[in-house]
Amino acid sequence: MPLADFDYDLPSDRIAQEPAPERTAARLLCLDRARSALGHGRVADLPERLRAGDLVVLNDTRVIPARVHARRPSGGRLEVLFVRPLEPLREWEALVRGTPRVGERVHLPEARGEWLGGPGDGRWRVRLELDRPGESVLAWLERVGEVPLPPYVRRPAGPTAADRDRYQTVYARVPGAVAAPTAGLHLTPALLEAFGSHGIGTACLTLHVGPGTFMPIRGDRLDDHVMAAEPYDLPADTSAAVARARAGGGRVVAVGTTTVRALESAGAGGDLVTGPGLADLFIRPGHRFRVVDALLTNFHLPGSPLLALVAAFAGWERVRAAYEEAVRRGYRFYSFGDAMLIT
């Protein structure tokens, strides 16, 4: 399919700059695929929108404060997003805004580094030397880094302390993501307990959200785009919970597109394969879903891999009509925006 098909009109004032006052107060657009029917509610209504026996699967990755401001030896400014650790120790892959050079030193807060090159598209390999001997890079980032908010969330003075809390799910456990699995931002401990009281199970996996999720589609055709792989880990007890839900007639409800990518990657061969793996599927119209039956997701950017995934799951004509309805009714879009439940 041509990329130009995955477009829609969105007034700029629909792009949410702040989260809802309470996580579960976000609005919920419900799309029934079988009937092409739309309904409206709040995220707090989710236990009533799902069924006893369903299994809600969460991505428990934790966003690290991965954005750091740096300088070249000449004084030129750089913005560095530390994406993932590499071997050997203290070497990292990073996305860089600016013009570093191979072999050049870089000045960082309470640290310094050397650029070792990279594959391009702003991606670099950097070797770090921290001021505090024995300190881990993750601990250093917690001290000096900023929350990596997406560029459409504007903070002239930089991210706030509130952003550290609200750009993180309440069940975040394993540090490693450079972007939040945003559908999960709407959930609270009380809502997770309400799932249990309604006979709805919950289970977790981990997929560290990286550039593969948020990089735009290149080229004019979906088939030409290659997604960067993202590491995931599917625990055996989550795989067993999926099997139990299926055996009992329940649905597998993925919270977020990253959860979909992990489950569909693990089940690409027909059976769910537990343990660590790499999610490298670019899910687009034509994909055969083997694991996921329902999806809680936010509203996504035009022409993005995430919108292509949602179009694959629900059909682009249905999704486009739902998005047009959301715009008409004043729903809030993107990371801090409202949510959509597709059943």
Domain boundaries, the chain: 3-63+164-342, 67-145
Which strand (E) or helix (H) includes residue 239? helix 236-247
User: In this structure, are residues 323 and 311 in contact, taking their beta carbons and an 8 Å threshold?
Assistant: no
Query: 67-145 architecture in CATH?
Result: Beta Barrel (2.40)
Contact 41, 28 (CB under 8 A): yes
How is residue 112 written in tokens? 């310094």
Single-letter amino acid, residue 68: V
Supply the DSSP symbol for 15.
Answer: B
**What kind of architecture, by CATH, is found in domain 3-63+164-342?**
3-Layer(aba) Sandwich (3.40)
Each of the 343 residues of the chain gets a pLDDT tens digit; together they read: 788 888 899 999 999 999 999 999 999 999 999 998 999 999 999 999 999 999 999 999 999 999 999 999 999 999 999 999 998 778 999 999 998 999 999 999 999 999 998 877 788 999 999 999 899 999 999 999 999 999 999 999 999 999 999 999 999 999 999 999 999 999 999 999 999 999 999 999 999 999 878 788 877 888 888 888 899 999 999 999 999 999 999 999 999 999 999 999 999 999 999 999 999 899 999 999 999 999 999 999 998 999 999 999 999 999 999 999 999 999 999 999 999 999 9
Q: What are phi and psi of 245, to 5 degrees?
A: -60, -45
pTM, two decimal places: 0.95
- CA separation for the pair 152, 134 (Å, rounded): 36
Cα gap 287→293, rounded to integer Å: 13
Q: Are domains 3-63+164-342 and 67-145 of this chain identical in fold?
A: no
Strand partners, 341: 30, 296
